[in-house]
Amino acid sequence: MFISSAYAQAATGGDTQSTIMGLLPLVLMFVVLYFVMIRPQMKRQKEHKAMVEALAKGDEVVTAGGFLGKISKIGEAYVGVELASGVEVQMQRSAVTQVLPKGTVK
């Protein structure tokens, strides 16, 4: 009386074309994400690694903390950076963010 009759609907087969079209936005977003974010970050990491490996004694550098100094000692994982006359600090090689042109630090 109050409950209407429920009728079974015809079963439709999974349309492969609609499934592919449904996944297309996800694939497209991943491709855009790769070219906008992932690829440039990997390029920056590669350049930084090459710069850190090419450090030499006497190079003038900027550290991650913003200090400017001249490299006085080089080790496997650490470098000694002279910030001022008689003031030398030890830091990790990866803390060097930029190599400056010669003569920048006085």
pLDDT (tens digit per residue) in 31-89: 999 999 999 999 999 999 999 999 999 999 999 999 999 999 999 999 999 999 999 99
- Tell me which residue of 97, 102, 92 sits closest to 48, measured CA to CA: 97
Cβ(98)–Cβ(62) under 8 Å?
yes
The CATH number of whichever domain residue 81 belongs to comes to 2.30.30
Whether residue 64 is contained in a domain is answered as: yes
Q: 72 or 16: which carries more pLDDT confidence?
A: 72
**Are 85 and 50 part of one and the same domain?**
no
Instruction: Give the structural domain span for 24.
Output: 14-54
Residue 61 lies in a domain: yes
What value, to the nearest 5°, has the Cα angle with vertex 63 and ends 88 and 72? 35
Instruction: Tally helices (H) and strands (E) across the chain.
Output: 2, 5
